[in-house]
Amino acid sequence: MTASIIDGKAFAATVREKVAVHVARLKADHDIQPGLAVVLVGEDPASQVYVRSKGKMTTEVGMNSYEHKLDVDTSEADLLALITQLNNDPAVHGILVQLPLPDHLNEDLVINSIDPAKDVDGFHISNVGLLATGQKSMVPCTPLGCLMMLRNHHGSLSGLNAVVIGRSNIVGKPMAALLLGDSCTVTIAHSRTKALPDVVKRADIVVAAVGRAEMVPGDWIKDGATVIDVGINRIDAPERGEGKTRLVGDVDFAAASQVAGAITPVPGGVGPMTIACLLANTVTACSRANGLVEPEGLTV
């Protein structure tokens, strides 16, 4: 079997289009413009790239983007004061604190100081609890993007065997909760899982979120399974010239595409969906804050 490619880049464009339509409606019908505030502490180059690209896409869909760049040695008190100010600002509907934070800042404390209704990353402990108990919450962007692609590909996920490899708070655990919410039979695998190849082989859906280049070989994948590759790993690519690198996922794409029914590529799969879902969460948060109808198909 040769897998069909789940084109996250194209799908993300349709999600952003839906967001833009809803933003335009909020403006036209209610004179409301959704706003997303992104807080970056320090000058981590990768984080700077993410923040720039988030800001650009936010304005492209017609929302306000507020960027707050703080010195690397910003005190916890000053960061918490900024978050309080954003919590109280009616023009701000979503707040994202770019992670990781410098070591002297307590990430849990900072994230849990965000108003849960504005927590568009879905990392606040209240949102974690709401998601785990199947209640309406802000859903973390990467797993939300994965779920949207899976629903779009399969229609119903009910009764399918899903294996999530990785148990992080930002990807693995919320992904498992979402799949369970859609009535999959869910297994969460991690570094201590025994006989991982056998576990993966039983899966109709495999979500790989590990951070190890191409660790899932093709022969772990069940015939016809759907593979969602969350991993982003940079490896040397001498075939492209001296010193060149390229991005690969956690799955051996070439081998897995010979066996899977459908697979996301890296790049161009889960990555673009993550930012699209951040925008979706912001417009959802804005609609909820104003007691208005939520956009259809942009949240769970």
Interacting residues with ligand NDP (CB under 6 A): 142, 165-168, 170-172, 189-193, 196, 209-212, 230-233, 270-271, 274
Q: Least distance to ligand NDP from the beta carbon of 34, Å?
A: 22
Residue of 18, 54, 118, 222 marked catalytic = 54
Q: Least distance to ligand NDP from the beta carbon of 168, Å?
A: 3
Active-site residue flag, 54: yes
Closest CB to ligand NDP among 103 and 296?
103
Residue of 18, 98, 173, 222 marked catalytic = 98
Residue of 18, 118, 119, 121 marked catalytic = 121
Closest CB to ligand NDP among 157 and 189?
189
Q: Least distance to ligand NDP from the beta carbon of 29, Å?
A: 32
Closest CB to ligand NDP among 274 and 287?
274
Active-site residue flag, 98: yes
Closest CB to ligand NDP among 94 and 166?
166
Active-site residue flag, 48: no
CA 207/CA 126 separation, integer angstroms: 25
Active-site annotation, residues: 54, 98, 121
